[in-house]
Structure 1
Amino acid sequence: MKNIIVGWLGMMALVVAWQPVAAQEPETSIVPAQPARLELPFTQYDTDVHVLAIPEDSSVVMLVEKDVFIGSRTSYTFHKYDHQLKDLGTRNVEIPIEYEFKLMSAEATAVYALFQSRYAPERLLVAGLDGRTGDVALVKFDTEVTRDVLDQKVLAGNLFVTVLLDQHMTVVKLDMKTGKHQLLPSVYEPLSTELTFLTDSATKRAEVIMRQSNGVKSRLQLKQLSADGELINSEFVQTESERSLITAQVSLGDSSDRMLAGTYTLRDPRYSQGIFSADLTAGTTPTGVRHSLRFYDFTRLKHFFDYLKPARAARIRQRSQERRAANRELPLRYRLLVHDLMPFQNGYVLVAEVYYPRYRSDSYGPGMVGTRYRQFDGYHTTHAIVCGFDRRGNLLWDNTFVLKDVESYELEETVRLRPMPDGQRLVMTYLEEENIHYKIIDRSLPTPNDLVVPLQPANPEVKEKLSSTNYEGMQAWYGSRFLAFGYQYVRAHRGAGRDVFFLNTVSFD
């Protein structure tokens, strides 16, 4: 489960202040513990396991989708485990054969699994697990219009499902109490629109962020919705310069501090030039531009180019300085996958993964006269940036986690972030096959990018070898803990090996 960039050129000059650290001593004092491991007798050939780490009560909920016999009805079972990965019980879920699993999400300790009919896509089914009682409720919805399901969020017991409808994106509210549905009239955007839907259980509000374009420039529209899906407020964020805003995330919680941060471009909306931030509580100009809007070109970030060799990074910075001296900007071409904002130290942290799509050349036809064509070959993620802001959107520091061989056919988040126990530092981590890669983030201080520890077997004293890890992933959990999971083959020192689905606790406490 991995992710994905494109760089530019420049001239020669070494700027010591921007030079990434080359050889670094390993930070051997910080090694994550793995206090618990659970192995389940599931294989990737006859089961699909969907995992949710629940911070609210430090639990783990899994939905196991198992094909008992080929062509027969698929069985579904909720499994719940505590922070030590001890069994808290299972619940079988009777799902009619016409439905297939789509998405799973949680609010507090309640978990909701969404299913869609294979034959009539407008028919949806939700299985809701009460995390405290273990009760499961099944509610069917005939939305009459739904086609492709794109996303799902939960707020006050209602599901907000982003769906595709007539080449537009809209949101359907599913009321679990009444079994009724509602199309939100305030969200109906062309398929090309960048749309982010966030929910805030503390304020019982939802935030919708949409990119709107006139073909030349783009701006952002922000909408606040109630827990019932009613429109509360709508506002625009736009620029007076040639810059266009692409994607953004907004801080949740206290409405007296609303910060927006994301990416901007100079021309092509596929590529980012840098990051921007804005204090949404500050005023606007007569033309509607935010007084607090700030832009940070990637060349102005201290660590953005750490993934490159020092000489190449220096050339890019030198080229940018020369362009800036001539009152021009060096165009940059980076694709970023932006994470949700995370509160940290009386401010916020923004994480974004830098990626690029890969293509391979294939040919068909006899001999030299065959036709060659480009075929999509997944995404490659080079590095993840992490930026610290105060509550008003001022950039305080930045850092970068250089990733290794991270590839995926789905564009999804790879790195995970949690605060360290001292409250002063952060840890970023991801799972690649049998190895846990991590980096300690101490504001802008250079720290190693190559820290790695192997996954531990259930009993480290027994000589067992973990291999053939597939569909692996990592989720942020609670405190300074993460949850690693995936399919694996465990080779025993003596006797037969075994295929398992594993859960490993990864603790930086």
Structure 2
Amino acid sequence: MKLRYIFLLIWGWALAAAPPALAQKRGQAPPPPPPNAPRQTARTELPLEPSDSEVHVQAVPADSTVVLLVGREKLLSNKTKFSFQQYDSTLRLRQETPLDVPTEFDFTRMCAEGTTVYALFTSHSNTGRLWAAAYSGRLGQVHTQQFDTKLSREVVELKALDGRLFATVLLNDQQHVTALLLDVATGQMQYLPSVYEQLPTQLTFVADAATRRAEYVLSQTNGRKSRLLLKQLTDRGQLVKSEFVQAESERSLLTAQVTPPQDTTARLLMGTYSLRGLDYAQGLFATDLAPAAPGAKAPLRFYDFLHLKHFFDYLKPSRQARLRARTARRLARSSAPTRWHYRLLLHELMSQPDGGYVLVAEVYYPHYRYNSYGSYSGPFNNLGNQFGTSPFAGSRIFDGYQTTHAVVCGFDRSGALIWDNTFVVENLRRAELEEAVRLQTLPDGRLVLAYLDEEKLRYKVINRADDAPNDSQVEIQTGSDGTTPAQERTADTSQADLLPWFGSRFVAVGYQKVRVEHGRDREVFFLNSVVF
């Protein structure tokens, strides 16, 4: 009897000390959200499971809709039945249009231009064969086309310009990357000889329908130094002009983003540079490509990570203080600057109301797990290069790209750095090297950086260089009316993602298992409207 009393007393203490997440699982109310928490104004659930379905999501800001490409496995068949589903701004189903995809093709990429959504598929039985579908949300119609490229092996990036698809592809030799122009309306295709580079290279690309221009930024190296090559093309792939940008000192320019072609008042190039090597970024650079006078070139501005106010916020304060003290002693002795070991993935530049631009870059590293069962050959990424695979023998297995933090910087119209900030993240790993942290601008000019960590939405509201908490979070609500019943809880979330939508909205998507206390559990694919 005494032992039973002691057991009940310990159990009571455990309940009293239970963390909020455990208390919520028992049906109790969750802790109140942060003061600046977003509102989840709408939710839609599709009765789908990841084991027998696939869902690909494209946010369409042009008409405030969301388009889903939904694939369901047919019973007693190895074929997947696809359809486009269009949802309005309240996440209500507007229309569904079937898509008959030949069995030899697998989904690869998705993009949008205006209100048209493009889906690209690759053949798993005929290397180089592509199949494209163009879905018009306004008309509710689909147009498809097949392309036999023969030489392409993998599509690594896809964008639409004036009704045509610009696909960045890795060739069969796995040594070169090039661009492929696909006209879905006519079925015509062509390789763009002006974009043909040997690996390793890094490549970024912007397109603008208003000017009918596309611009590539490619890195070129001789093994010791790296420079950038800018190529401007028409919407039909014709080369308009090309130019080199390189540093005169020992610095190498690794990769960069250029301002969109529609901005005729400024033409800026911003990216990363290295110091006496090509492996890691030492800092950021920026330059104004528009000449002040004929034949004149604006100087390159370099910003070592050490000179950014918030770059090292991901470190503990004590470690950050030791790092800055150590580098200060090196500078006092006139020693060589500290060599940093960072890899950065650059987002496209975002224009600001004051005419300047914001650059967001995710700091990441390749992550591995280890076993004792022999060797493994898997994908390996060198210098953040987004193309291809190469074998790696040994007992470690490549396990995706781990993001540690995202740096966000504001530049004026001449490319001068005005402010910087950092969003420290956790539990953020992707199988492919692609954007994971999403950016949206608020009506008052502040910025929101956010991502999904399973059922948690983690975010940071940034007001230029002002300090702000990095641990703000809310749970994705499971109620179909935008509220979370106390009797429901999320048991599992997979393939979760967050997409910028329109205004100050994101759309959160993914698969979920929802436990219901006095009802039937459900497995769904969800869409939540998240408004800041």
Counterpart position of 1:449? 470
Q: Structure 1 residues 296, 285: CA separation in 2 closer, same or farther (over 3 Å shift)? A: farther
Equivalent-residue separation in structure 2 for 1:63 and 1:229 (angstroms): 28
Counterpart of 2:252? Answer: 244
Q: Call closer, same or farther: CA 1:305–1:111 in 2, change over 3 Å.
A: same
1:306 and 2:313 correspond: yes
Query: 2:88 maps to which residue?
Result: 82
Q: How does 1:129-144 map to 2 (within 5 A)?
A: 129-144=135-150
Alpha carbons of structure 1 residues 461 and 408: separation in structure 2 relative to 1, 3 Å? closer
* 2:344 equivalent to 1:347: no
* Offset at residue 282 of structure 1 (A): 3.0
Task: Give the whole-Å Cα distance in 2 for the aligned partners of 1:94 and 1:377.
Answer: 34
CA distance in 2, matches of 1:360, 1:137: 44
**What amino acid is the match of 1:219?**
R
Confirm or deny: 8 A CA contact 2:58 2:67 kept in the other structure.
yes
The residue type paired with residue 408 of structure 2 is V
Q: Does 1:436 align with 2:457?
A: yes
Residue 335 (structure 1) aligned with residue 343 (structure 2): yes
Native 8 Å contact 2:440 2:449 kept in 1: yes
Residue 17 of structure 1: aligned partner: none
Deviation larger for 393-402 or 122-131: 122-131
Percent sequence identity over matched residues? 51
1:213 partnered with 2:235 = no
**CA distance in structure 2 between the partners assigned to 1:210 and 1:389 by the alignment:** 22
Shift of 1:375: 2.5
Alpha-carbon deviations, 1:129-176, whole Å to 9, x = none? 012101100111222322222221110000111112232111111112
Q: What pairs with 1:397-436 in structure 2 (closer than 5 Å)?
A: 397-423=419-445, 425-436=446-457
1:382 aligns to 2:389 (yes or no)? no
Amino acid aligned to 1:390: D
- Per-residue Cα deviation, 1:156-209 (whole angstroms, up to 9, x for no partner): 000111112232111111112221111101011112111112211232110100
- 1-side partners of 2:518 and 2:439: how far apart? 38
Q: Does the 8 A contact of 2:143 with 2:185 survive in 1?
A: no
Consecutive aligned runs of 4 or more in structure 1 exceeding 4 Å deviation: 283-286
Change (3 A) 1:320 1:50: same
- Equivalent positions of 1:366-377 (< 5 A) are 373-377=395-399
- Between 1:163-172 and 1:297-306, the stretch displaced more is 163-172
SS of equivalent residue, structure 2 residue 40: coil
Shift in Å, 1:327: 5.5
| 2:273 aligned with 1:264 | yes
> Out of 326, 329, 341, which is 1:319 matched to?
326
1:498 is matched with 522
The aligned runs of 1:223-302 (5 Å cut-off) are: 223-252=231-260, 253-282=262-291, 290-302=297-309
Higher relative contact order structure (alpha carbons within 8 Å, sequence separation ≥ 6)? 1
State the SS of the aligned residue for 1:404: coil
Using a 3 Å threshold, how does the CA distance of structure 1 residues 284 and 244 change in structure 2: closer, same or farther?
Answer: farther
Name the CA distance, whole Å, in 1 between partners of 2:484 and 2:160. 43
In the TM superposition, 1:23-102 aligns within 5 A as 28-69=34-75, 71-102=77-108
How far apart, in 2, do the equivalents of 1:304 and 1:339 lie? Answer: 17
Please report how far the alpha carbon of residue 265 of structure 1 lies from its aligned counterpart in structure 2 after TM superposition.
Answer: 0.5
Secondary structure at the residue paired with 1:34? strand
1:488 equivalent to 2:512? Answer: yes
Contact 1:284 1:291 in 2 (8 A): no
Post-superposition offset of 1:468: 0.4
CA distance change for structure 1 residues 245 and 70 in 2, over 3 Å: closer, same or farther? farther
Cα 1:147–1:314 change in 2 (3 A) is same
Q: Could you tell me how far apart the structure 2 residues matched to 1:358 and 1:73 are?
A: 35
Rounded Cα–Cα distance in structure 2 between residues aligned with 1:456 and 1:141:
43
Q: CA offset at residue 284 of structure 1?
A: 9.6
In 2, Cα distance between equivalents of 1:236 and 1:70: 57
Structure 2: distance between partners of 1:66 and 1:442 = 44
Contact 2:368/2:398 (<8 A) preserved: yes
TM superposition shift of 1:214: 1.2
Cα displacement (A) at 1:99 = 1.5
Q: Give per-residue Cα distances to partners, 1:96-131, cap 9 Å, x unaligned.
A: 112221111100110111112222122211110012
- The number of residue pairs the alignment matches comes to 475
Distance change in 2, residues 1:58/1:434 (3 Å): same
SS in 2 for 1:97: coil
Name the Cα RMSD after superposition: 1.9
The residue matched to 1:187 in structure 2 has which SS?
Answer: strand
Unaligned runs of 5+ in 1: 1-25, 366-370
Provide Cα deviations, 1:453-506, integer angstroms capped at 9, x if missing partner. 111122426321122000000011111110100000111131210000000010
In structure 2, relative to structure 1, the CA distance for the partners of 1:318 and 1:188 (3 Å cut) is same
Structure 2 counterpart SS, 1:42 = coil
Native 8 Å contact 1:277 1:293 kept in 2: yes
Q: Which residue of 1 aligns with 2:202?
A: 194
CA contact (8 A) 1:434 1:467 kept: no
SS of the aligned residue for 1:363 comes to coil
- Contact 1:74–1:97 at 8 Å: present in 2 too? yes
Ranges in structure 2 where 5+ consecutive residues have no aligned partner: 1-31, 375-392
2:153 and 2:34 mapped to 1: Cα distance?
51
TM-score, normalised to structure 2's length?
0.86
* Pairwise CA distance, 1:317: 1.8
TM-score by length of 1: 0.90
* Offset, 1:377: 2.7
Amino acid at match of 2:322: R
Q: Please tell me whether the aligned partners of residues 362 and 372 of structure 1 are also in contact (alpha carbons under 8 angstroms).
A: no
Shift of 1:285: 12
The Cα of 1:71 is off from its aligned counterpart by: 4.7
Matches within 5 A, 1:106-121: 106-121=112-127
Counterpart CA distance in 2 for 1:142 and 1:130 is 24
> What secondary structure does 2:329 align onto?
helix
CA distance in 1, matches of 2:318, 2:152: 52
User: 3-state SS of the aligned residue for 2:152?
Assistant: coil
Offset at residue 411 of structure 1 (A): 2.2
Contact 2:64–2:89 (CA under 8 A) maintained in structure 1: yes
Deviations 1:325-378 (CA, angstroms, capped at 9, x unpaired): 40621101111111111111321100111111222332247xxxxx97332233
